Amino acid sequence: MGRSVSVCCCLFILFLFLSELTGFITTEIVNELYVDDPDKDSGGKIDVSLNISLPNLHCELVGLDIQDEMGRHEVGHIDNSMKIPLNNGVGCRFEGQFSINKVPGNFHVSTHSATAQPQNPDMTHIIHKLSFGDTLQVHNVHGAFNALGGADRLTSNPLASHDYILKIVPTVYEDKSGKQQFSYQYTVANKEYVAYSHTGRIIPAIWFRYDLSPITVKYTERRQPLYRFITTICAIIGGTFTVAGILDSCIFTASEAWKKIQLGKMH
C-alpha cells in the first residue's frame, strides 16, 4: 500500500511541476493605463503609413494634403510616397509614409493638388492599411492598430466625400529586456456625403480627421521570478509528501484496526 501511495505522489508531483514550469517559461503580458506622452523623443511627431487604392481615379489626379491646428497646410505631399497605376492606368494605388504633429488635424486624399480639376472625380476606394507609429510584431497583443485595414467603399456614391473620424491612442510595448516600441491604436467613425456650397458641388475627398487621446496604453512583458518558482516547487514537494505521510498513516491505522476486528471474530 505504501508503494502505491509513493507512486501516486510522484506522479502528482510531476504533474504539478510541469504545470508550474509551463507557467514559469510563459511570458505574461500586463497592461496599464496612464496619462502622459510616452514618446518624448519623437519631436512631437507621429509617423503615418497609408496604403489606399482608388480604382477609378487617374494617378495624376491623386494627391495627399495635410493640415493641422499648428498652422501646417501642405497640398500635394510627395515625400516618401508613390503612385501605382491600376486597371491599365484608369485607377491608382497610393502608398505613402509621412509624419503628423501631435495636435488635432487631418490629412486627405483628393484632387486638390491636380493642375486641372476633373468634372466628376470618383472617390470610391479600398483602404489596405492605415497605421501610426511602430509596427508591433507581437502575437499576444491584439489591438486596433490598423482599424481601417480592409475598408471597402467601392459601392459608395462615386461623387461622395468620405469622413473618417479617428481617435488615436498612444500605445507602448516594453519587452523583457526593457526595450520599448511606440505605436498607436485608434478607433474610427465614418460618414459619406455629397457636399454643396453656393457655387455648386464641392470637390469630393477622402478625409482622415484625427485627435489624440491623453490616455496611454502600456503593455509590459513579465516572467515569474526564479525565486518564486523554486519556492513553489519546494512547497509542492514538501506538501505532497506531508499529505502522503498522513494518508499512509491513516491507511496503516485502519488496516491494523481491521486486522484486530478480524482476529476478534475468529476467537
Q: Answer yes or no: are the C-beta atoms of 195 and 204 closer than 8 Å.
A: yes
Name which residue leads in pLDDT, 105 or 143: 105
**Residue whose grid cell is 467601392:** 154
Q: Which of 128, 130, 123, 192 is nearest to 154 (CA)?
A: 123
Q: What is the mean pLDDT of the chain?
A: 85
Report, as an integer, the average pLDDT of 199-226: 86
Name which residue leads in pLDDT, 126 or 116: 126
Confidence check: pLDDT of 19 > 80? no
For 227, list phi and psi in degrees, rounded to 5.
-65, -35
Q: Where does the pLDDT of residue 237 fall: very low under 50, low under 70, confident under 90, or very high at 90 and above? A: confident
| Cα–Cα distance, 174 to 29 (Å, whole number) | 10
Helix (H, G, I), strand (E, B), or coil: what is residue 240? helix
Q: Answer yes or no: are the C-beta atoms of 106 and 67 closer than 8 Å.
A: yes
Confidence check: pLDDT of 25 > 70? no
| Range name among 32-36, 86-90, 189-193, 224-228 with the lowest pLDDT average | 224-228
- DSSP code string of 172-193: EEE-TT--EEEEEEEEEEEEEE
Label the pairing between strands 63-68 and 73-74. Answer: antiparallel
Predicted TM-score of the model (pTM): 0.75
pLDDT score for 265: 59
How far is it between the farthest Cα atoms of the chain?
Answer: 120
Q: Which residues pair with 65 in a beta bridge?
A: 108
Confidence check: pLDDT of 233 > 80? no
Identify which of 170-174, 200-204, 250-254 has the greatest average pLDDT: 170-174
pLDDT score for 267: 53
